[in-house]
Amino acid sequence: MKLIKQTGRNIEKLYNRHLCFRKKHVEEKVRSIIDDVRLNGDDALIKYTSRFDGVKLIPRQLKVAEAEISGAFQDITPDFVADLKTIISNVSTYYKEQLKKPSKVKGYDGVLLKEEIKPLESVGIYIPAGTAPLISSVYMTAVPAIIAGVKRIVIVTPPNKEGRVNPYILAVANLLKVSEIYKLGGAQAIAALALGTKTIPKVDKIVGPGNMYVTEAKRQLFGYVDIDMLAGPTELVVIANRNSNVDYVVADLEAQMEHIGGMSILISTSKQLIQQVRQRIANGGYCIYCKNMDEAVEIANRIAPEHLQIMTTNAVSVAKEIKHAGAIFLGPYSPTALGDYAAGPSHVLPTMGTARFFSGLCLSDFMKTSHVISYSKKALEKVRAPLEKVANLEGLTKHADSVNMRFKL
């Protein structure tokens, strides 16, 4: 691991890593794919599936057949379903606690104000499967959508060279009763979900992780469709001191770098710990030495990481000072892998410093609100004069007229 100082170009690159993620050639390529899907629909999808996935399909083969979904259970290990049910229970329990009751405000006589909360009608979920199928992303995205009440949930995921979808992805979808699944990946999948084609009806929102082409497609199509966030490569910051278990620290840092492009950063007040870690992790990642825990917290907040593990003896106390992190793991027995797979909260989290203003996937991502306003004539009379003054100041006199009209004899 590379030892870097608290000041200088190297640490500034960490703080501003989002500036390196967008690439002009990716933007141009994605724009071309989106335009092609917009103009040519299914024909464009078939072309790119052949080009990028090496599979020749016809439009009706894009949708995974019910027989293929039910048949997936023949290709999975017998204990998988039991283990999966335990995990899904954890995720479901967490999100059920987020269910929100509509607010209702009664003002003076004749005024009723309230908030109507409704689920989105349709959501598309992108599940990567190019280098490795992200089976966990199925339940980490679909479960909160289901609990929120979304009626139509669509999964898109790249097919393998035989034109089939990973059986474990299909098995998880089947257990969650998600049956609309398409053999489609990359920017073209995002374009299909956002714009719609003859075979694939458009959705209202797209969630789920993906490579830089998928992320760029989400960025360009935001507005045609809602998205969860613009996520880059996964990342982990570990705050540790002389009391931290070096074996645990090394294992967690290495686990994060197992992902393509995954980044691990150790922030420690112990020179000895840093030396031990660097001896055992030769390539990849960064180490930052701090004189005290206040410095460590300040740096962690500036990095605003996707995952933050606090592996000090006073982890709870340190966590109180953390302002920016997608997910915070406390103590020696809460590794990031726990959050990735089984704890409950979704592993779809903000990266590249966007934890300063983005949150991890939550129930509200699958819901929207409408304001409901009801006034009696008497109540409207009470706000008539101030409303008229503001409308006239803005030069919108007909707004005032629309109110005054209701009081003409």
Question: Are 51 and 184 contained in the same domain?
Answer: yes
Separation between Cα atoms, residue 255 and residue 259, nearest integer Å: 8
Question: Are 222 and 239 contained in the same domain?
Answer: no
Question: Are 106 and 15 contained in the same domain?
Answer: no
Question: Are 131 and 202 contained in the same domain?
Answer: yes
Question: Are 173 and 253 contained in the same domain?
Answer: no
What is the reported pLDDT for 409? Answer: 67
Q: What percent of the chain lies above the pLDDT cut of 70?
A: 100
Active site residue 307: yes
Secondary structure, 3-state, 162-227 = CCCCCHHHHHHHHHCCCCEEEECCHHHHHHHHHHCCCCCCCCCEEECCCCHHHHHHHHHHECCEEE
Q: Answer whether 311's CB lies under 8 Å from 238's CB.
A: yes
Separation between Cα atoms, residue 343 and residue 345, nearest integer Å: 6
Question: Are 212 and 67 contained in the same domain?
Answer: yes
Half-sphere exposure of residue 384, counting CA atoms within 13 Å on the CB side?
15
Separation between Cα atoms, residue 358 and residue 229, nearest integer Å: 7
Question: Are 190 and 298 contained in the same domain?
Answer: no
Last residue within a domain, chosen from 189, 210, 227 = 227
Active site residue 306: yes
Question: Are 170 and 309 contained in the same domain?
Answer: no
Read off the amino acid at residue 304: A
What is the reported pLDDT for 21? Answer: 73
Last residue within a domain, chosen from 202, 227, 252 = 227
**Residue of 235, 307, 324, 347 marked active site:** 307
**Residue of 116, 258, 259, 306 marked active site:** 306
Question: Are 293 and 178 contained in the same domain?
Answer: no
- pLDDT 10s digits, 360-393: 999 999 999 999 999 999 999 999 999 999 999 9
Query: 264: closest CA among 336, 338, 187?
Result: 336
Question: Strand 307-310 relative to strand 235-240: parallel, antiparallel, unpaired?
Answer: parallel
Range of the domain at 279: 2-20+233-360
Question: Are 244 and 339 contained in the same domain?
Answer: yes
The overall pTM is greater than 0.85: yes
Question: Are 183 and 326 contained in the same domain?
Answer: no
- pLDDT 10s digits, 116-169: 999 999 999 999 997 778 999 999 999 999 999 999 999 999 999 999 999 999
